[in-house]
Each structure stands twice: as structure tokens, then as C-alpha cells.
Structure 1
Amino acid sequence: MATGGGIQGTLDDLGTPLADVTFVVVDLETTGGSPAESAITEIGAVKVRGGEPLGEFATLVDPGGPIPPFITVLTGITQQMVTAAPRIGAVLPAFLEFARGCVLVAHNAPFDLGFLRAACAAGGHPWPAFPVVDTADLARRVLTRDEVPNCKLATLSRYFRTATEPCHRALADARATVDVLHGLLERLGAFGAKSLEELKTFAKAPTPEQQRKRHLAEGVPSVPGVYVFEDAGGEILYVGKSTDLRSRVRSYFTASETRRRVREMIGIAERVRPIVCATGLEAEIRELRLIARHKPRYNRRSRFPERAIWLKLTTEPFPRLSVVRECRDDLTPYLGPFPSTRVAEEARAALHEAVPLRQCTQRLTPRLIEHGRARTCVLAELGRCGAPCDGRESITGYERHTNLARAVMEGDARPVVAALQARIDRLAGELRYEEAAEQRDRLAAFVRAAARCQRLSALSGCAELVAARPGFGGGWELAVVRHGRLAGSGVVPPDARTAAAVRAHVDAVIATAETVAPAAGPAGTASVEEMECVLRWLESPGARLVELDGTWSCPVHGAEGMRERIQRAYANPPM
């Protein structure tokens, strides 16, 4: 006889207890941060179930190319260590078999899984549908800022007192991640997550703070523009852009937003201010300008465009190449910008290979030389300098080096490319591959910076450029660019069908555009990032010029046409 009461659930309803789940915790070491440009050098993995280790997998991997020195310093993995190691194509099937049927765990999983997926794609292996647990993301959800200042593996290792200390070697870091995983799973018990299914649900749930702040997205329009998160005092915390403001802002209050810093920002934010823009390009530029002006603490990129690094030919009787942080109106050529001082130094070394400019940093004047007070160096004896410091080369004689350097920096990259290529070929012929790779890196630093600088200079040299691009919903997007700076933006609506109607909209955008005066340097009126946004827009499919005041072109023998050769050199290193 049936009686009233609850219905007893089945074992299937309870899900898979975490104690019965087999986890494979994996860690990789690589030659860089991008699977498109870098390769795996080591794989380490630990298989565990119920807190007990079941097996380990560890191997070095030959990346098929040079290991950058800073990676060797970081990991301790040298070129000699991987010379006899198998390639990733031979290692991958064994790892996939080791992890078959398990839940894959990694700290900052998108990084490791990105490399593994890329390796599978390159080797023709289908990527198994592994359930994935990211211990970094899990830590952000269960640990507070008072407990740990960040969710780096080393920090969590100290917090959970792991038996193994992470040291940027794959197996050691995987072992440390196992202990971190167990510590996090214990913390999850307090949230009622005791099965694999509950763990997945917990990882996908928005935080209470995100749920509480959902009302901030109300009233945001579904149009292109910029959104600004502000605190109670009006301080700008974060600036972003989107072609659909409403959809993008609402995503910050869902489970898809997992970034720790952004979640922290949401906890402080009290309002979201939308700034409607005519086009996506205008939104992108406004975002960059707002970030540069206000330097919001939760924006990581584009906050300090003034810190760009350049290489300039100094204005002295005996000019030299100097690394600087600003472009001045001194009528001297500049090269850059560079991502770091180290890359700028590599480009300078490439230029010195072709042009025997002096490399000393002293302020060399004719009077100093005449009185014998100039310091001398050994470069003259090596044929790398004409030695103006001891009077062997006059100002007039030195001018030929200056003129050659100016020509190279302003448009003719052939002398540098020829000099470096000859040296690379000689070193490769002598089987000195690591030295050849260093010269290749110098050449790449020069070519990339020169190509970038020539593109920027060409755009900034145009007094006015008016262009149009097909809009996503029909009609046209318009941009007015003056000396490289976006001065105006607008649209031609789809219903403007006659030439006169279209022209009226174009004239209106031009008339209301900002007045821009030319400034010093290749990027004097706008940041480099802004100009590159404009260039990408101009080079997009369907874009066309409407009006042009100036000459928009790159040098015939410039570096732009040599970038493909550099990419091929990295794809086929001399070793």
C-alpha cells in the first residue's frame, strides 16, 4: 500500500562522487606563450583517484627550434637537454592514452590545453572530449582575497602547503597542482559540491556579487560604443568596448566572466556609463583614449602609451643610435616603437652590422677631439667604427655613415638585411646555429620595427584621409583621419541611395571632424595603438578611399615587403 512522503532517489541522481573520479593533472613547459609561435618542451602529468596517485607521465620534448634564453633561465631546460628528446608527434599518442577516460586538470587550463589541442591538430589526432577542471579558476571561486593575494600556482602551493614546490618543471608543477586540487576539493565540501556533476555546476555558477550587481546592466542600449565601470565616487575602474553594449555589459554578471580582477572590480562598481559611438572603429579608438587618459586600475593594457620605446639618430656632430621614450621635433629619423628595450637593442645591433656608426655614448664634439679628451675604444681596430674620437674620421667623412643610417631608417632596409643575411649564412655554414639564431632575432627586430614605423609614418604624413567601409546592417561606415588621428566618424544609412545623398553624409562627417595639426614623430598626433586600429580598419575587406590629401604609400625597398621572409625564417630555423 502506498503512503505519502518523499521519493527515494537513485544512485544516478547522486552523480559521480569526487572520490571515485580519476583525475589526470597535467602541466606543460613551452618556448613561449602562444601555440601559433611556440612549442612544447616538456610534459608532466599525474593520475590520481580518491586522493591516491595511480601513475605519472613525464618526458622532455624536442620543440624543433631554439629555446629562448629567458625560457632556459626560467625552467632550466636547455637546448642540449631536448636534443635527443622525441618530438611532440611521438609523445602525444602516449599522453592521450594515459589520460583516456579521465578528467583533465591543469592550472590555468586554457594555456596548457591550447598547446595540446594545437599539437593534436598538427598531428592529425582528434581531441578527446575531456571534462576539464581549471584549478586557477576554481581557486578564484572558493578562496577570498584575504586568504591569498592571487591565484598563481606558487601562491596556492604555499597556502595549501603542498609536498612539492612548483619550480617551472612540468612534473614538479603537476605534483604541486595535485595537492592544490585536493585542497580546493576539500573547500568545495563546505559549498555542498561532493560529486563531479556538482563540481561542474559550481564552476559555471556566477558569484553572489555578480548576481547582486546585475541591475547595473539595465538601460544599456544595444548599439556600438564604450562602457565605463565607475565606483561610488565616480572613479573610472574599467573601460571596455563592444559592437553591442547591452550584450557585453550583461556578460560581466554571468558565469562566463571568470577573471579574478574583473570580478573584484564588479564588487566595487556602482554604475556603468555607456558612451554610444557611430561605428565600431570609433568605439575602439575612444576606449584606447579613455584608458590612456584615466589609467583605470582594472585595465591591464593600453594604459601607458607614452612609454613607447624608440630608436633615434641623435642630433650631434657625430650622430649615434640612441634608445629613447619620446619623439621630438628635431628633424631626425626614428625607428619603432619597440615592445621592450631588449628588442630595441637587438634592432640597434642589426643597424650597427650594416652601418659603422660610433657606439660610444660620450657627447663627441670637434673641440673635445681637438684637445685629445675624447675616450677611445677597440671598435675602430675591429673595423666597426671610423674612430672620429681620435680624429681619424672628420665630420664630413662621418656624414656618409649618418646618411646611410638615415636612408635605412626612413625607407631602404636592404643594407641591413643583406649584412645580417650574409652573417647568418656564414654562421649556419660553420654549424654555429645558436649564434645564427641570435642574428636572425636581430634582423627580425629591425624588420618588424621598420615595417611598423614606415606604415605609421605613411599614415601620419597624410593631412586628411577619408575612407568608407560597408556597414554590417547595410550602408557605409565613414572615417576621417588627419595626420594619423581619427578625427571624425559617421555612417551613411542604407536608405541613402543617390550620389548626392551619400555625398551629403560624407561632407557632414568631414565638416564636424576634429582639427589636427601635424606633430613630431611617426605617431605624434595619436598613440601607436590608435593608428594601428585605423590601419586595420582601412585594410579590412570592402574598405575604400573617398578622399586623400597627401601621399599614402610605403617605400619600394622598405621593410614591409621583407616581413614574410622573416616569418619563413622562424618557420624554418637554421638548425
Structure 2
Amino acid sequence: MTMPAPIQSTFDDLGTPLADVTFVVLDLETTGGSPTECEITEIGAVKVRGGQELGEFQTLVNPGEPIPAFISVLTGITDPMVANAPFIGEALSAFLEFIGDAVLVAHNARFDITFLKVNCERLQLPWPGNAVLDTVHLARQLVTRDESPNHKLSSLARVFSTRVTPDHRALHDAQATVDVLHGLIERVGNLGVHTFEELRSYTSRVTPDQRRKRFLAEGLPSAPGVYVFKDERGEALYIGTSIDIKRRVRNYFTASEQRTRMAEMVRLATSVTPIVCHTTLEAQVRELRLIAEHKPRYNRRSRHPERTMWLKLTAEAFPRLSIVRTMRDDGATYAGPFTSRSVAEQAAAAVHEVVPLRQCTARLSRKGTGSACALAEMGRCGAPCDGRQSPDDYAEIADRVASALDGDGHQVIDALSQRLRTLAADQRFEDAAAVRDRMLALVRAAARTQRMTPLAISPEIIAAAPTPAGGWEFTCVRYGRFAGATVCPPRTDPSGFIAALRESAEHVERPEVAVPAATHEETEKILRWMEQPGVRIVDIDGVWICPVGGAAGAQASLDETINDRAAVPGFEESSAWRGHRRVTA
């Protein structure tokens, strides 16, 4: 398998040092608190970078209406002061030119930014969409109640000994906010925050241990693949996958990661091992295999793929349903796998709901020398045990069940649908819900089996999916197991890439029974990928068959009904229950 070319990290991956960020710290004075009903009377702003002041902006604004008396008392701005000031259209255009692409900073930024956006919309001026930083949010994380009784600008000005005292004039308040911002940045710097991306996502929920461990993301590739967090003994703590390993691992050290167990995991981690993959599918498969192999304590799913159950229709004179852990080449019919015994029992109960299949566990002789149970008296079993039902008559019933599990199951599904409608009509909604859940367990298992079978019996399938860049990603699947992948660049003959993939792909031995040579989770990943729009089969050594009357159609209909909470239990019958569709190559 050809390894992908190394990918150089971008400046975005490294983060923007705070010393290189241009901030415009702003403040507005208004005629009131509602952006849609009140007007701006003053705009003040200070542009700074690296602790140095680059410029100031200050203008009064004629609101076009009288300033309320209590606002004049609060701000000192009176009607005569703004009589000759520019209107908001002129003032706002000049201010937008001043800010450029700088990061906007304000104390209680939502108030100021909302006023600016509303006026831009009113004047049909495009809002530039600058990044915004709120000093109130930062102060709440960094300034304790012991230092300040609240997080008002006037209180923080005393904490950080600002050069200018805030007095509800826009420029003075902006100048005071600059000193507050620099004081807050100094504090987070002592906690290991040195880039704007880290500052913007800073929160006290991120523990110091998490923040100190961010060096673990250094040197990781910006490429699709798997990442493995390891402890000091080299044991895997957590395994994950991402289309960008570096970016995803960095998130574990920011506020975007809020899972308590992940904070605990990061505290124990001493290294991160990346595994670069050609494609997203390859990364997902490798993740599943590594989780199954190492069983990391902080992974909750996919740790025990071997713990599955199958629903088995036994191969004997009078077949019955049984729940087993493995499939065998014994002539029986299987459906599954199930992730738990309880779900497998629900699927079996769905069959028994409408098919008079025996439920006893004894092995019966063809002569029927036993005694009948209560189910025979209730009409839910033909009593082959005492000879009332011949092997041929019983075989017709067993064939109906076998067909429901691996082929055309319309008879069983139709009977269950009718049962649902009858219960609903009788307003026995709890009973109907129970039948519906059993039916869903059955059709999902049967659909899973029918979808997996073509993969399981095919020695090799080569499938292709288009890449965003215009090339193709090719995947080789052998007996349902991911065997390899490669990527063909745009405007390149893919035949050489396919040939190389075929030669370098993993050799997979044919399974003894018609099940995939991989875990059911891996095969499901492959199936979901193959069923995506745009994915096509390039070459196949085997047979691709899908029963038109199979369980997939029933599952789609039933899932739709389940999702519609207002729907009556049951679903409409489909004419698609007739025949089979078969594709060979």
C-alpha cells in the first residue's frame, strides 16, 4: 500500500500568537437599551497590537431624536452636543473603515455588536463579520469574587488599575477596556494561553492539566487518520479518528471538549500516536480494529465486537429458533448479528407472534412420540411433538421463517403489519408498541444479514468514491473485510492505481461460513460507505444480490413510521415484495 505524501502544517494549525493580533477595543453610548428602538449617540474605539496603541476613533452621532434626560445625566451627552454631529450613516461607514479585519473587543460585547449590526442592516451596509472577544466573559473566568464584587467595567478598572477611569463616555470606556484586556491576557498567559484561538475558547472548565498537555498536539499531521492517546506505560487510553488529526487532538485541550471522562483521560496521557490513512473509511476501520485489540478504558463503544448474538433457525426435522454466539456451516439459517441477547429475543418473539413455529427446545423425532404443550391448545403450534403435524406440513412453516430471515419475507412482515393494525384498531397501543419493537428487531437483523451476504461471499470488490479535489478514492474489500485503499489524483489514469491496490491489499482467507471475514461493525462501515451517493463498484469477483422482497424495504418503512410519533403503528404494504433483483459480474 502506497503511503500518502507528508502534509505540511499550516499557520492556522499553529495558531495566531496574541502579540500578532490586532484588536479594536470599542464602546458605544446610546439613547437606550433596545437596538431596534434606540439610537447610537457616540462611538469610541482604540486599535492596539502587541500592547502598543495604533490609533483611536471617536465621534459623536446625531441620533435624529431627543436624548432622554436620564441618559444625558448618565453619559453627559446632551442634545446641543450632537446637533452638528454626523448622522449614523456617515459615522458608521467611517468606523467600519477604521476597524478593517481586526478582532473586535468590548465589555458586554453582545450589546455593542448588536447595535452595530442592526444599524448596518438598516443602512444596507455589509457587516464585515470580524471575530469578537468579550472581556466580561474572560473576566468571569479569571477574576474571583475576592478580588471584585462584580464584573462591571468600573470594578475591573480598579482591579487592573487602568490609566483612564470609565465614565460612560465611549472613548474613555474603550481606553479603560484596553487596560482590562491586557490585564486579562497577562493572566491567561501565565496559564499557558498564548494564541488567539486559545484565548477565544478559554474557559475555567478547562483544567490546568488539560491546558498544559496541549503540547501533545505539536508535530501531529493535518491529515485523515487515527490518533491514540497513551499513558506513561505506553498503554492506549483512548482511540479516535478524524479527517484532521492535529486539529481534532488540539480540541481536547480547549473548552470545546466538555466530557468529564475526557478531561480525566487527558490528565493521564503522556503521548499521542498518529496513524495517517489514505481515506476516511480506512481511518474508521483502523479505529475499530485498534479499539477491539487494545480495549482502551476511555472508549465506550466497539471494545467487544466478539460479544454478538445470532438468531438461528435450526437444521433438524422440526426446526426451531435458537439464539447462539457463532455461525456454523451446519445447514441452518441465520440472521444478525445482534448486539445483545434481549434484542435477539425480541426478533424471535416477532416470528412467534405470527408463525406457529414450535418454541420447545427438545430435539423431536420425525415420528412424534412426545406430548403437546399449552401452545398447541392455544393454536400457536401445530404440535409436531405428538404427531398431529407431519414433517412436510411443518416444513412449509419453517420455510416461511427461513425466507423471512434470508430472502423474501413478505408473508411474515405482512402478518406482523396486520397484527399491528388490529391492535391499534382495538386501542391496545401498549401491545401494538411491543409488537412493533419486536418487528423492528427482526427486520433490522434480517436486513443486516441480507446486506452483508454479498460482501461475505465475494472474494474481492473494488469500489470508488469521488474526492472533493476531483480525483477518486479506491477501496478493496475481500470477503467483507477492508483490505486496502488508495487515492488517484484528478486527471490521472486510475488503472495503475487500481492494479497497485490489488497487489498490495491484504490477503484474506475465505471464511468457513458465509459471514464476513471481519467484525460486523467493520462490514457495516464498509456497507454505509458503499451506499453513499456517488460510490460505484469498479470491479467485482463474486455475486452482488439483493432480494427485492428482503427486509431492507420493510426496515425503511418501519423506521419512517417509528420516527413519526403521530403515526398509527404499522406501515403501508409495498408492491416491492415481489421477486428478486440480481446483479452479477
The yes-or-no answer on 1:443 pairing with 2:439 is: yes
Residue aligning to 2:350: 350
Distance (Å, rounded) in 2 between the aligned partners of 1:524 and 1:193: 65
The yes-or-no answer on 1:493 pairing with 2:460 is: no
* CA deviation after TM superposition for structure 1 residue 273, in Å: 0.7
Is the contact between residue 308 and residue 338 of structure 2 (CA under 8 Å) also seen in structure 1?
A: yes
Residue aligning to 2:374: 378
* Correspondent of 1:573 among 526, 548, 567: 567
Residue aligning to 1:503: 495
Residue aligning to 1:332: 332
Residue aligning to 1:517: 509
Distance (Å, rounded) in 2 between the aligned partners of 1:194 and 1:316: 81
* CA deviation after TM superposition for structure 1 residue 387, in Å: 1.3
* Correspondent of 1:402 among 398, 404, 409: 398
Distance (Å, rounded) in 1 between the aligned partners of 2:317 and 2:241: 48
Distance (Å, rounded) in 2 between the aligned partners of 1:192 and 1:304: 52
Residue aligning to 2:454: 458
Q: Secondary structure at the match of 1:553?
A: strand
Offset from partner CA, 1:117-169 (integer Å, 9 cap, x none):
xxxxxxxxxxxxxxxxxxxxxxxxxxxxxxxxxxxxxxxxxxxxxxxxxxxxx
Residues 1:282 and 1:194: Cα distance change in structure 2 (over 3 Å): farther
Is the contact between residue 227 and residue 272 of structure 2 (CA under 8 Å) also seen in structure 1?
A: yes
AA in 1 matched with 2:285:
I
Offset from partner CA, 1:396-438 (integer Å, 9 cap, x none):
4432222222122111121111111222222222232222222
Is the contact between residue 456 and residue 484 of structure 1 (CA under 8 Å) also seen in structure 2?
A: yes
Q: Secondary structure at the match of 2:546?
A: coil
Residue aligning to 1:528: 520
Residues 1:190 and 1:329: Cα distance change in structure 2 (over 3 Å): farther
Residues 1:192 and 1:483: Cα distance change in structure 2 (over 3 Å): farther
* CA deviation after TM superposition for structure 1 residue 495, in Å: 5.2
Structural mapping, 1:93-112, within 5 Å: none
* CA deviation after TM superposition for structure 1 residue 446, in Å: 1.6
* CA deviation after TM superposition for structure 1 residue 338, in Å: 2.7
Distance (Å, rounded) in 2 between the aligned partners of 1:273 and 1:544: 33
Is the contact between residue 491 and residue 505 of structure 1 (CA under 8 Å) also seen in structure 2?
A: yes
**Structure 2 unmatched ranges of 5 or more:** 1-26, 30-139, 157-199, 570-585
Q: Secondary structure at the match of 1:359?
A: coil
Residue aligning to 1:212: 212
**Structure 1 unmatched ranges of 5 or more:** 1-9, 13-184
- Worse overlay, 321-330 or 257-266: 321-330
Q: Secondary structure at the match of 2:543?
A: coil
Q: Secondary structure at the match of 1:281?
A: helix
* CA deviation after TM superposition for structure 1 residue 202, in Å: 7.4
Is the contact between residue 353 and residue 419 of structure 1 (CA under 8 Å) also seen in structure 2?
A: no
Distance (Å, rounded) in 2 between the aligned partners of 1:347 and 1:304: 22
Distance (Å, rounded) in 2 between the aligned partners of 1:490 and 1:277: 9
Is the contact between residue 204 and residue 256 of structure 1 (CA under 8 Å) also seen in structure 2?
A: no
Is the contact between residue 309 and residue 344 of structure 1 (CA under 8 Å) also seen in structure 2?
A: yes
The yes-or-no answer on 1:541 pairing with 2:533 is: yes
Residue aligning to 1:414: 410
Structural mapping, 1:160-309, within 5 Å: 203=203, 206-309=206-309
AA in 2 matched with 1:573:
A
Residues 1:201 and 1:288: Cα distance change in structure 2 (over 3 Å): closer
Residue aligning to 1:482: 478
Distance (Å, rounded) in 2 between the aligned partners of 1:329 and 1:190: 72
Residues 1:193 and 1:275: Cα distance change in structure 2 (over 3 Å): farther
Residue aligning to 1:556: 548
Distance (Å, rounded) in 2 between the aligned partners of 1:192 and 1:554: 70
Residues 1:192 and 1:348: Cα distance change in structure 2 (over 3 Å): farther
Residue aligning to 2:323: 323
* CA deviation after TM superposition for structure 1 residue 458, in Å: 2.5
Is the contact between residue 309 and residue 340 of structure 2 (CA under 8 Å) also seen in structure 1?
A: yes
AA in 2 matched with 1:550:
G
* CA deviation after TM superposition for structure 1 residue 239, in Å: 0.7
Residues 1:418 and 1:513: Cα distance change in structure 2 (over 3 Å): same
Distance (Å, rounded) in 2 between the aligned partners of 1:465 and 1:193: 68
Is the contact between residue 457 and residue 515 of structure 2 (CA under 8 Å) also seen in structure 1?
A: no
Residues 1:235 and 1:195: Cα distance change in structure 2 (over 3 Å): farther
* Correspondent of 2:463 among 461, 464, 467: 467
Is the contact between residue 523 and residue 531 of structure 1 (CA under 8 Å) also seen in structure 2?
A: no
Distance (Å, rounded) in 1 between the aligned partners of 2:380 and 2:208: 66
Distance (Å, rounded) in 2 between the aligned partners of 1:343 and 1:404: 21
Q: Secondary structure at the match of 1:349?
A: helix
Is the contact between residue 476 and residue 492 of structure 1 (CA under 8 Å) also seen in structure 2?
A: yes
Identical columns (%): 50
Q: What count of residue pairs does the alignment treat as equivalent?
A: 386
Q: Secondary structure at the match of 1:380?
A: helix
Is the contact between residue 354 and residue 415 of structure 1 (CA under 8 Å) also seen in structure 2?
A: no
Distance (Å, rounded) in 2 between the aligned partners of 1:233 and 1:331: 48
Distance (Å, rounded) in 1 between the aligned partners of 2:522 and 2:151: 46
* CA deviation after TM superposition for structure 1 residue 272, in Å: 0.7
RMSD: 3.1
| Rg larger for | 2
Distance (Å, rounded) in 2 between the aligned partners of 1:504 and 1:340: 44
Is the contact between residue 193 and residue 202 of structure 1 (CA under 8 Å) also seen in structure 2?
A: no
Is the contact between residue 334 and residue 521 of structure 1 (CA under 8 Å) also seen in structure 2?
A: no
Q: Secondary structure at the match of 2:568?
A: coil
Q: Secondary structure at the match of 1:213?
A: helix
* CA deviation after TM superposition for structure 1 residue 573, in Å: 3.5
Distance (Å, rounded) in 1 between the aligned partners of 2:396 and 2:410: 16
* CA deviation after TM superposition for structure 1 residue 190, in Å: 8.3
Distance (Å, rounded) in 2 between the aligned partners of 1:520 and 1:406: 21
AA in 2 matched with 1:250:
R
Is the contact between residue 455 and residue 516 of structure 2 (CA under 8 Å) also seen in structure 1?
A: no
AA in 1 matched with 2:330:
D
- Worse overlay, 241-250 or 430-439: 430-439
Distance (Å, rounded) in 2 between the aligned partners of 1:245 and 1:194: 43
